Amino acid sequence: MSLKSTSPHFIPLSFLCTRLPIRYRMGEAEMSIARELFALQEVDLEIESNEQAVREMTARLGESEALLQARSELAAVKEHLEELGRRQRDLEGEIADTGAKLARTEDEMYSGRTTNPKELTGLQQEAGILKAKRSGLEDRAVEVIEESETTAAQAAALTGRLDKLTAEWQAEQEQLGNDIGECKMRLAGLTAKRASLAAAIEPAALGAYHELQQRRGTAVARVEQGICRGCRISLSSAQMQRVRSGALIECTTCGRILFLP
Ligand SMILES: [Zn+2]
């Protein structure tokens, strides 16, 4: 597989293999280039997973859907409760007015001032109508009071639920804040570690690594039991021999740099 590229820094691995020493000293440890690149890749993967975690956790910061919904449900129930309170007060006012009118009518009836039988019958009829009206209003008031009680119980239950959700949400937000902070600290350490690893790697090899990383996601593939773990295809015995010798070679199937742990 050819490693053609548009990158100006890109150097084919076959060329690198002829130019770079198989092993060279890095501090006290002697490492092959493939091993160094693999170590770099491990750090890169760890950086990527930490960055992904920070993104996911950051997206969970802020108010949750459940919390917003519980709050709006409670607001609607409270509004209904206030409306019921207004209706109750209006009915009580009407009951009082009707009662006052009835009292005046009965007072007139029994005062002895009205003696005309036709007028007395009229007053009696009026008192009957007012009594029926007051009774109807009282029935409605009882219904409103009963609905108020049910609604108040509903509001109390929702308030309890909202308090619980709010407490859970606050704890979660705090935990998220801590976890994000930890992840960022880990990332700072990893970035420094990456920089020192990268600084020790031949620039040409680093260029090839980045090129492969962009195209394949991962640049270095571990060789396990004669199989490239990048593409899960068996290597030829000639390839295995070269990998064992520590040479920097690419998988003929997926093009990744092969690393034999
Ligand atoms: Zn492969």
Dmax (CA) of the chain: 133
Examine residue 43 and state whether it is found in any structural domain, yes or no: yes
Examine residue 74 and state whether it is found in any structural domain, yes or no: yes
Which among 185, 212, 246 is the end of a domain? 185
- 13 Cα to the center of ligand 1, angstroms: 14
Q: What is the CATH number of the domain that holds 164?
A: 1.20.58
Tally of structural domains, the chain = 2
Q: Which CA distances in Å does 259 have to 2, 214, 230, 247?
A: 19, 18, 10, 9
Q: Answer yes or no: do 115 and 135 share one domain.
A: yes
Helix axes 117-199, 65-110, angle to 10 degrees: 170
Ligand 1 is a single-atom ion; what residues have CB below 5 A from it?
228, 230-231, 251, 253-254
Query: Residues 64-83: pLDDT tens digits?
Result: 899 999 999 999 999 999 99
- 191 Cα to the center of ligand 1, angstroms: 28
Q: Answer yes or no: do 103 and 137 share one domain.
A: yes
- 223 Cα to the center of ligand 1, angstroms: 9
- 211 Cα to the center of ligand 1, angstroms: 16
- 43 Cα to the center of ligand 1, angstroms: 21
- 38 Cα to the center of ligand 1, angstroms: 14
Which among 156, 185, 214 is the end of a domain? 185
- 220 Cα to the center of ligand 1, angstroms: 9
Cβ proximity of 221 and 251 under 8 Å: yes
Which among 185, 214, 249 is the end of a domain? 185
Cβ proximity of 125 and 117 under 8 Å: no
Q: Which residues of the chain have pLDDT under 70?
A: 1-31
Cβ proximity of 256 and 229 under 8 Å: no
- 257 Cα to the center of ligand 1, angstroms: 8
Examine residue 191 and state whether it is found in any structural domain, yes or no: no
- 232 Cα to the center of ligand 1, angstroms: 6
pTM of the entire structure? Answer: 0.66
Q: Residue 171 belongs to what domain range?
A: 65-185
Examine residue 123 and state whether it is found in any structural domain, yes or no: yes
- 212 Cα to the center of ligand 1, angstroms: 12
pLDDT at 18: 47
Cβ proximity of 257 and 208 under 8 Å: yes
pLDDT at 174: 96
Helix H or strand E segment including 7: none
